[in-house]
Amino acid sequence: MPALAESNNKLEIEKILLFGHNDIGKPGFDEITWDWYLKEKDIIIPLACDFNFTKPDITYAEQCLNRGFYSFGEILLDHLGALNKRLHGLKYNDPIPLEIFNLVGQNNAFVLAHANPIFAEDFLSAIKQCTNTTFILAHIAYDFGQKILPSISQIEKLLLENPNLYFDISFWITDALCMIDHLELLEKYNSRFIFGMDLTKNYESMQNIYYPSYNKVLSQLTLDSQRNIYYNNINTLLSKREKKILGLSH
């Protein structure tokens, strides 16, 4: 953590969202996340993810929100964990996930989803049904063939159809130059994109490598757009949740 704090200061990174991913079963990421949060409250924003989206998870979701977790994520739409859940019959527009997602909105929190595939129909259906809940689809720019997925027109269509939807621009590659073709889109919808770098182990050294490449691209936007994508959009969401948490603590 000291190395991470030093790296954050150098790059002017104020906060990091810390979370696991909701694989099948209860892997225990949330307790690890909470323990780190208690040690580094000035840096870490904790998200809860230990859900199978079964009936007991409704109570667990309430407990996480009352405890002070900021939001829920990373919810997998693909990868092994999500596929396991789907084999067990899960659809994200089923009644139990919808109840959990609506609970998120009632508590001024948000849902962060690993958006791959971006067009998971059941999850898009949940976004449309839970209009009072904010959803963030992570990794809008991915590294499959070093191309951005989905297309500009597809992203714009989703933004226009879903006012409760944001995109996180993170992706697993050090070269962000593939985003240059999307600068016009980022400028036009600068209030709907959130900066991220999708870092895992060795994150403090990774962000020192990743960040300059991101900044080289994003610095071509207007200053207002840069501020929104880097800071304002996520800070607005976090501020709403913080006010709710403070209300719960009295």
- Give me the CATH number covering residue 130: 3.20.20.140
What pLDDT is attached to residue 111?
A: 97
What pLDDT is attached to residue 176?
A: 73
Neighbours of 35 (CB within 10 A): 11
**Average pLDDT for 141-152:** 61
Residue 119 falls within a domain, yes or no? yes
Is the distance from CB of 76 to CB of 82 less than 8 angstroms?
Answer: yes
Q: Amino acid letter at 54?
A: T
- If one compares 76 and 65, the residue with the highest pLDDT of the two is 65
Question: Can you tell me the distance from the alpha carbon of 192 to that of 183, in angstroms, rounded to the nearest whole number?
Answer: 13
pLDDT category at 249 given cuts 50, 70, 90 is very low
Residue 249 falls within a domain, yes or no? no
Is the pTM of the predicted complex or chain greater than 0.85? yes
Query: Domain span at residue 176?
Result: 2-244
Residue 250 falls within a domain, yes or no? no
Is the distance from CB of 44 to CB of 35 less than 8 angstroms?
Answer: no
> Which residue in the block uniquely carries the two structure tokens 């898009």?
124
Residue 128 falls within a domain, yes or no? yes
Number of domains in the chain: 1
Residue 164 falls within a domain, yes or no? yes
Return the closest-CA partner of residue 128 out of 158, 85, 173. Answer: 158
Residue 156 falls within a domain, yes or no? yes
pLDDT digits (tens, 9 = 90+) for 153-192: 888 999 999 999 999 987 766 667 777 888 999 999 999 9
Residue 167 falls within a domain, yes or no? yes
Residue 61 falls within a domain, yes or no? yes
